[in-house]
Structure 1
């Protein structure tokens, strides 16, 4: 499963760079002013766990703050993201919600003007309720490939809609389900973004 996700991520990023390489800037024109615009976004996140984790947990609710910083290539941004996630245990299972504080960094690349983007991030999920869960570890590695759209609402005001796959290493040393070695989730982020 991890190799499939890696292949999809590589293909998305390759497509993004290939499509950007096919476009050219007419002589005398300049890049968009938004290519140099720092953006800060904040918004809720909703997710569904997958694999063995889905047997014990129904859905995820959280929120995040993200900073997008433009770099040398037009349409390419370095991203820094931090938030709070609450993975809700199913009522018919004797489990406790998993509460994490994800901290991630990565890249966002616009493949179509300043509208459609691909994004890849990696970082750490810090377990906020380690003692409640009797977990072995307080932090776990995570990576997230994703896609999204940035809809302009007004000058320097945007709606950022993104969908991502997120894979997180386990907080336990072995076992299955809530004690598994890793868990995945599909997450939707709906954020208000503004230029700085």
Structure 2
């Protein structure tokens, strides 16, 4: 529980810094055009992916959703992101002919990070935070949460006004959910397809 508290505190502190950075936003030197605005950009997305590494031995795919806020630091170029969502990782039935079924992994990820536009519409993003196991006891985890990190690349497709479709591909990795089992890391490659809109 101590590690869970520390991770949660770090995520909340990062979110606080994000809002502090928003308050100190300055006018950018660059005039590169994107579909972004001066205000916070909200996006609601569907997340789908495929497990990687040892996780793929017992799990097929994952599906979930997320809500993200992009807070401008340098207009049209650099944003602080805060993201929360839900992921269900679907277990395989009759794993390797053993007759055993893998229990689905239900996670609540909370992340914060940075999103940078090197050119108009194209971005790179990096986030870190914590994933909370909602069915810890069913899975035999001895940790309620694990540290997660998620590098991502994506593109914004304008659809009119201040709205656009945000499509990103990321790798999401974690530390161990069970301190004695190396295979308790939850790693996957995912696509996030989101509807996004500016507030100003």
**TM-score > 0.5 by shorter chain:** yes
1:183 positional shift: 3.1
Say which of 132, 149, 158 aligns to 1:152: 158
1:40 positional shift: 0.3
Question: Gaps (5+ residues) in structure 1?
Answer: 1-23
2:194 is equivalent to residue 191 of structure 1: yes
Partners of 2:198 and 2:176 in 1: CA distance: 36
2:180 is equivalent to residue 174 of structure 1: yes
Change (3 A) 1:141 1:128: same
Change (3 A) 1:60 1:130: same
**Contact (CA 8 Å) 2:35, 2:156: kept in 1 or not?**
no
Q: 2:113 — aligned with what?
A: 106
SS of residue matched to 1:36? coil
- Write the deviation string for residues 119-151 of structure 1: whole angstroms up to 9, x where unpaired: 000000000011111210100000000100011
Q: 2:137 — aligned with what?
A: 131
If the length of structure 2 is used for normalisation, what is the TM-score?
A: 0.78
Q: 2:77 — aligned with what?
A: 75
Partners of 2:34 and 2:192 in 1: CA distance: 25
Partners of 2:110 and 2:82 in 1: CA distance: 8
2:67 is equivalent to residue 65 of structure 1: yes
- Write the deviation string for residues 10-48 of structure 1: whole angstroms up to 9, x where unpaired: xxxxxxxxxxxxxx85xxx79778352321000110010
Change (3 A) 1:100 1:35: same
Q: 1:50 — aligned with what?
A: 52
CA RMSD of superposed structures (Å) = 1.9
**Contact (CA 8 Å) 2:169, 2:191: kept in 1 or not?**
yes
1:74 positional shift: 4.3
Partners of 1:31 and 1:149 in 2: CA distance: 14
